[in-house]
Structure 1
Amino acid sequence: MTARRAGDTATEQGTILLVDDDTNLRGILRANFEVVGFDVVDAPNADAALAALDRARPDAIVLDVLSAGHDGPAVVRRIRTHPQGTHVPLIVLTTGVRAGDAVRALDAGADDVLVKPFAPEEMLARVRGKIKRAAEETGLQPLTKLPANGPIEVEIRRRLAAGAPWSVLYLDLDGFKAFNDAFGFAKGDDVIKLLASTITDAVAKYGEGDAFVGHVGGDDFVVVMRPARAHDVGESIAAVFDREIRRVQRDTRVPYCTVSIAIVNGSRGPATYERIGERAALVKKEAKRRRGSVVVSESELA
């Protein structure tokens, strides 16, 4: 049975990533979300859920702890270390039979726990509440669902205070205004989303568990990560973006967009939040002087 109040209409409320290996229950949950206007992307297991994170860019994740196998909390931790899963509200479903499931899930990074059986109205209310609170607290960019300026500043200041080695990659598209003028804002949004997914894919592949991806706004992004693989991340982004932009931009009346990537070592040189930004902007300026998609490290300019 699905939950619907009188007068409800199916209006877009966001996207739910639903992780449950029980086909029947997954169908019931999907119906409850869809009837009130959510889009639903479902996954039968944890691996499929992780693969879907970049594609779906969900507003919330609902995970049946039993579908995750014998270690549901480990799956919660895996989601939390994925660049697209660090900030998304995550609600865990459990039977309440296995003692400690709820506590372990919360300790692993879940935001809420629902014990089966539960009323559909309660599930919907909790999911809506978590989505609203996350948007208010984390300051996500609506298009990419990535953290915006506020969380970016918090992360960089946290790294500065910690004192451990870290780097920041500052990314900016070249030729984006001409693309927008030629093809319109909707196609421009597709390019922004392409760059966002290219960045998160590269960070998931080469970054380490504490890497952070942020969307400053427009076509500007940052990655904050340990320095060892920062150049690998940058080179991967440049190569994949150059390949994939040709799928998005079939019409060549304007040149293909490219991406300029500046890398600054936050552990060296003047290291305040403001100075890191100034240093990254200077390196990016040099990157934009060069042709095509390029990666330029501050150390090259010393």
Structure 2
Amino acid sequence: MSQSVALLFTPDGQSLPDSVRAWLESRRVPTRRFSDADEVMQVALRGRPRLVLVDARQHPVAALKMCRRLKQDSFTGIVPVMLATRDDDASFAAAFDAGADEVLREGIGAHEVTLRLDAMLRRSDRDTFVHPSTRLPGTIEIELEMTRRIERGVPFAVCYADLDHFKEYNDRYSYYDGDRVIRILSRILHDNVKGLCGEAGFVGHIGGDDFLFIIPLEQVNATCGTIVEVFDTLIPYQYSEQDRRAGYYFGKDRRGQLHKVPLMTLSIGVVTNERRVFTHAGQVSELATEMKSYAKTQHGSVFSVDRRGDGPAGELPGGNQRSATSGDTQ
């Protein structure tokens, strides 16, 4: 089911207020009507809807129970739910207690309905477009930001950051320690990008230990260099003293063989529009991934900048490349 669909739950089959129906039509949101709560849950669980509208005016007990069911499930809990209630304080409070994201009393004006519902969807998008552990923008916002920069035609650099030896760290320590490392890296990236680039800097979390940040072209060396330096200063303290002093530990590979595992390092692949003309975000993402993979072949924490231009593709460093692709390190 498309995420743009709105589910209407009306226990008695009553129509929603005219102002709500007018808002749905003006926003071109298709709707599906239900009077059975189990059907609503089944549909919501199969494909996350854009929002759920619940009529609590005539049968508030069933409506409030429906709202609680949606909000208690981890998958449907992020779907914005609006309750239409009677015009009294008790009903109003009960709706919010049940977990409703917005409550519309009977008699509310059409203009206020529009403002409230639009705001509800904006809040929902803001919350669902960020990564839950770092609160950084996720892949949807990352793509939108790249598209905005391409359309504006300003000089920019897209930097794809990835941890090296992170899986081995999780295996030796714990997922709890690994999650702490992810949060530390997110703070390093955010604080340095925003500190050096201000509002011109953007930091997003792709997922896991993959991050992407976008900065002005002229800030590449200063920003990436500082990030690498701060990372190498802080990350050793996420290990035991024994591992930190040795600079490595023994871990098992996929075949169960012991081998030396170095401390985590950070690889950053950088793509710019200095010598290229991009038309869509997919081009940038593909090249950034390519440069990140190249950076991971280098020793230690590094950032590698793509110096190639448009035209016949040159090989990456390590081959007989045409236009030079530089590997810059701290």
TM bracket (short chain):
0.5 to 0.7
Deviation at 1:133, TM superposition (A): 5.2
Structure 2 residue aligned with 1:233: 223
Structure 1 residue aligned with 2:281: 273
**2-side partners of 1:233 and 1:262: how far apart?**
13
Indicate whether 1:242 and 2:250 are aligned: no
Q: 8 Å contact 1:165–1:267 — kept in the other structure?
A: yes
Alignment of 1:140-159 (within 5 A): 140-159=130-149
Q: Is the alpha carbon distance of 1:131 and 1:141 closer, same or farther for their aligned partners in structure 2, counting shifts above 3 Å?
A: farther
1:57-76 deviation digits (Å, cap 9, x = unpaired): xxxxxxxxxxxxxxxxxxxx
**1-side partners of 2:182 and 2:153: how far apart?**
32
**2-side partners of 1:244 and 1:131: how far apart?**
40
Q: 8 Å contact 2:305–2:325 — kept in the other structure?
A: yes
Deviation at 1:135, TM superposition (A): 4.8
What amino acid is aligned across from residue 265 of structure 1 in structure 2? T
Q: Specify every segment of 5 or more residues in structure 2 that has no aligned partner in the other structure, as ranges.
A: 1-92, 103-118, 244-248, 250-260, 308-323
1:142 is paired with a residue whose SS is coil
Indicate whether 1:255 and 2:262 are aligned: yes
**2-side partners of 1:296 and 1:246: how far apart?**
22
Structure 2 residue aligned with 1:49: none
1:164 is paired with a residue whose SS is coil
Q: 8 Å contact 2:269–2:288 — kept in the other structure?
A: yes
**2-side partners of 1:157 and 1:132: how far apart?**
22
1:213 is paired with a residue whose SS is strand
Deviation at 1:204, TM superposition (A): 2.2
**2-side partners of 1:279 and 1:183: how far apart?**
33
**1-side partners of 2:273 and 2:121: how far apart?**
33
Deviation at 1:134, TM superposition (A): 3.3
Indicate whether 1:296 and 2:320 are aligned: no
Structure 1 residue aligned with 2:84: none
Candidates 268, 293, 297, aligned match of 1:285: 293
**2-side partners of 1:235 and 1:182: how far apart?**
29
Deviation at 1:279, TM superposition (A): 1.0
Q: Is the alpha carbon distance of 1:249 and 1:150 closer, same or farther for their aligned partners in structure 2, counting shifts above 3 Å?
A: same
RMSD: 2.7
Deviation at 1:270, TM superposition (A): 4.7
Structure 2 residue aligned with 1:51: none
1:216 is paired with a residue whose SS is strand
Q: Is the alpha carbon distance of 1:143 and 1:220 closer, same or farther for their aligned partners in structure 2, counting shifts above 3 Å?
A: same
2:198 is paired with a residue whose SS is coil
Q: Specify every segment of 5 or more residues in structure 1 that has no aligned partner in the other structure, as ranges.
A: 1-120
**2-side partners of 1:274 and 1:132: how far apart?**
27
What amino acid is aligned across from residue 285 of structure 1 in structure 2? S
Q: 8 Å contact 2:271–2:288 — kept in the other structure?
A: yes
What amino acid is aligned across from residue 204 of structure 1 in structure 2? K
**Bigger radius of gyration:** 2
Q: Matched residue pairs, number?
A: 181
Q: 8 Å contact 1:207–1:226 — kept in the other structure?
A: yes
Candidates 95, 102, 123, aligned match of 1:134: 123
What amino acid is aligned across from residue 290 of structure 1 in structure 2? Q
**2-side partners of 1:284 and 1:153: how far apart?**
17
What amino acid is aligned across from residue 242 of structure 1 in structure 2? D
Q: TM-score if structure 1 supplies the norm length?
A: 0.55
**2-side partners of 1:208 and 1:219: how far apart?**
24
Indicate whether 1:174 and 2:168 are aligned: no
Q: 8 Å contact 1:167–1:266 — kept in the other structure?
A: yes
Deviation at 1:184, TM superposition (A): 1.4
Q: 8 Å contact 2:194–2:202 — kept in the other structure?
A: no
**2-side partners of 1:199 and 1:185: how far apart?**
21
1:57-99 deviation digits (Å, cap 9, x = unpaired): xxxxxxxxxxxxxxxxxxxxxxxxxxxxxxxxxxxxxxxxxxx
